[in-house]
A and B are shown apart, each in its own frame.
Chain A
Amino acid sequence: MRHYRIALAGNPNTGKSTLFNELTGLRQHTGNWPGKTVLHAEGSFSYQGNSYTLIDLPGTYSLFSNSADEEVARDYIIFEKPDATIVVLDATSLERNMNLALQVLEMTEQVIICINLMDEARKIGIQIDEKKIASRLGVPVIKMAARNGEGIDLLLKTLHQLVTGKISPQPLTIQYSKEIEEKIDELIPHIQNLIGNSYPTRWIALRLLDGDESFVQLLKEKYSKGKLQFNPIRFPSKHAN
């Protein structure tokens, strides 16, 4: 019997918590994330002999840390590296929801996309070709209506296949302009020298190019606390310290 940690991400009001409750029932603990006034909910379930801990990340529209919620969600996916991340999308508003899904795909390969609220979508005549979306995104896509239990079995089956390595998603890599791609290629070897391959280097390169000060600060903090093992190669542009 093995134990897996699964993160649950999604926009607000996508039925993320409904899915969380559906899967974990009453086996839940709630509290706050350390040092933050952001609700932390964790629950457990077992499936086919394996046990799972499900972490309900705060509902966010993005993961670029404009708020404490987004920071918590981003840090969990990047630094705690769950065995899989389930992204819950609202079937009635895929355009906006896809934003978060694409951001998660840049952070980790271990992703399952759940298109939830299918019952609502059908009512207003929305049809969704999940196979086409799955082939475009390169990760499993499951249509569901969590409040009726629709799609839950398929989700559990897919999750089992994903964590046991029976399927290995190859998420779409979002291509940026030539200029940005060149800078990414330039940065990646330096990032790999510093922190190795244990974190998504392309994603970190993008944050650096974005000038995301708070993330750079966080990397430094993790480094000074010894939580990250940096290789002893000096970063070229660093003169101080």
Chain B
Amino acid sequence: MVADSKGAFPLCDAQIGDSVRITQLCIEGAMRLRLLDLGFIPGAIIKVLQKSPLGDPMAFRVSQTTIALRKEESSQILVEKLGDE
């Protein structure tokens, strides 16, 4: 996954407890729509809640709801850490 110049990294690399802001979704089609429906919108703030023992899937807090994503999807969501620009 190509990282953005402003220190964006894939959501799957975030650590438990991290709060991150979504900068970009690198997915097209039905899965993109689905993620947008669930609240994975550029600009949205997401919190990493849990990781499975092998790190996949991961659970996130997205607008008052817990949603788990596989690496397949979370690796294609680019995020930035909150507070450091």
Contact = CB atoms under 8 A, between A and B. Distances in A.
Interface residues of A, number: 11
A92 interface: yes
Given A62-B33, A64-B33, A66-B30, A92 B64 contact: yes
Given A92-B64, A93-B65, A96-B63, A66 B33 contact: yes
Given A62-B33, A64-B33, A93 B63 contact: yes
Contacts of A96: 37-39, 62-63, 65
A93 B64 contact: yes
B6 interface: no
Contacts of A99: 36-37
Nearest to B34: A66
A129 interface: no
Interface string B33-70: 11011110000000000000000000000111100000
Interface size band for B: 10 to 19
Interface in A64-109: 64, 66, 90, 92-93, 95-96, 99
A62 B39 CA distance: 11
A62 B38 CA distance: 9
21 contacts: A13-B65, A61-B37, A61-B38, A62-B34, A62-B37, A64-B33, A66-B33, A66-B34, A66-B37, A90-B64, A92-B64, A93-B39, A93-B64, A95-B63, A96-B37, A96-B38, A96-B39, A96-B62, A96-B63, A99-B36, A99-B37
Q: Which 8 A-B pairs have the closest CB atoms?
A: A61-B37, A62-B37, A93-B64, A96-B39, A96-B63, A93-B63, A66-B30, A92-B64
Interface of B: 30, 33-34, 36-39, 62-65
Interface of A: 13, 61-62, 64, 66, 90, 92-93, 95-96, 99
Given A90-B64, A96-B39, A99-B37, 17 more contacts: A61-B34, A62-B33, A62-B37, A64-B33, A66-B33, A66-B34, A92-B64, A93-B39, A93-B63, A95-B39, A95-B63, A96-B37, A96-B38, A96-B62, A96-B63, A96-B65, A99-B36
